[in-house]
Chains A and B, each alone.
Chain A
């Protein structure tokens, strides 16, 4: 009898001790702004020249009438210049109109040290930005697996459903070159897909939706940015 009582008491104590570990431990979800260091170590007030970009066009896709009305080069230049002027302390200039890219191959362009050094001398720019731009309509429609519960036997099955997904893709390869030596300092790619949805969005608004979603990443090449995130913390 006495032994049973002790065993019972011990069980109660163990449960209470376990509870003391877990009962007062609670969790909260917090929002953080993750500080992102710039990809290039810069002073922040450099003179930066915006050179032309290579336009990547697929002959088949270029036939899409929606894309024929968009001057991707001009729109991107205008966007980039405005963002850099607004959100950095760079002295932003455009290369003179007579500056023509020596090649339409991105790898060769990145290696054209002499050409970039000459552009740097001509514009007195410490940094030059170039690269390639591709804006296209992409059809990602296709069959996808989906789980569903049968109303007949309440069991879960997997079925194939056709999902229509068409949207605009903006693929930017960024080259940042040293204006003094012509050497490539950084090459980075930014890509965004925006679904057109049920409403037929026009190509210009599609292009700018792509650009606005890439804005933070593009600027993070040059200046610190932050990104919102959510995490769990234990409160006690």
Chain B
């Protein structure tokens, strides 16, 4: 197979991956939809979508990060902590996840200190 042909196929793979919005069974579709509703402030729906993404792709650090953010926005801080930790386990060097986690940890430490309990814990 000629390299040009392989390159064409590869580009099609990239394009295919980027236009997966129409495939609800894919994690990327769930993330894209979750993000669209999150931007409208519908964090419960976003959390549901990101949960679906995590189910479909358990090793997707971005899905875990987004789920953590949505859980935080819904006041489920203990679950958010678990999701941030999972995201960092998968991608320890991802700067965005690290920054999110640092900000969350600062807030959560102060919050649990004043309430004396892990808020949002079952």
Distance A186 CA – B114 CA, assembled complex (angstroms): 10
**Total interface residues on B, using CB and 8 Å?**
40
Task: Produce 1/0 per residue, B25-37, CB < 8 A to A.
Answer: 0001001100100
Taking chain B's interface residues, is the majority helix, strand, or loop, or is none over half, making it mixed?
Answer: helix
User: Which of B38, B43, B72, B115 touches A37 (beta carbons < 8 Å)?
Assistant: B115
Indicate if the CB atoms of B114 and A39 lie closer than 8 Å: yes
Indicate if the CB atoms of A34 and B73 lie closer than 8 Å: yes
Closest to B3 in A: A9
Indicate if the CB atoms of B99 and A232 lie closer than 8 Å: yes
B69 in the interface (beta carbon within 8 A)? yes
Determine, out of A10-18, A42-50, A58-66, A197-205, the stretch whose residues face the partner at the interface.
A10-18
Indicate if the CB atoms of B7 and A16 lie closer than 8 Å: yes
A221 → B minimal CB distance (Å): 9
Please judge, given known A-B contacts A12-B10, A188-B114, A236-B35, whether A33 and B73 are in contact too, CB under 8 Å. yes
Which residues of chain A from 19 to 64 have a CB within 8 Å of any chain B CB? 19-21, 23-25, 27-28, 30, 32-37, 39
User: Which of A13, A28, A234 touches B10 (beta carbons < 8 Å)?
Assistant: A13
Distance A5 CA – B66 CA, assembled complex (angstroms): 42
Indicate if the CB atoms of B73 and A23 lie closer than 8 Å: no
Task: Produce 1/0 per residue, B72-102, CB < 8 A to A.
Answer: 1111000000000000000000001101100
Contacts of A30 in B (CB 8 A): 38-39, 69
Indicate if the CB atoms of B35 and A235 lie closer than 8 Å: yes
B113 → A minimal CB distance (Å): 10
Distance A21 CA – B99 CA, assembled complex (angstroms): 21
Please judge, given known A-B contacts A34-B72, A35-B75, whether A27 and B14 are in contact too, CB under 8 Å. no
Indicate if the CB atoms of B3 and A8 lie closer than 8 Å: yes
Distance A17 CA – B17 CA, assembled complex (angstroms): 10
Which residues of chain A from 153 to 184 have a CB within 8 Å of any chain B CB? none
Closest to A189 in B: B114
Contacts of A37 in B (CB 8 A): 75, 115, 119
A230 in the interface (beta carbon within 8 A)? yes
Interface residues of B (CB under 8 A from A): 1-3, 6-7, 9-11, 13-14, 17-18, 21, 28, 31-32, 35, 38-39, 43, 62-63, 65-66, 69, 72-75, 96-97, 99-100, 103-104, 107, 111, 114-115, 119
Beyond A16-B13, A35-B75: 8 further Cβ-contacts under 8 Å?
A24-B28, A34-B75, A36-B111, A232-B65, A232-B99, A233-B35, A233-B38, A234-B31
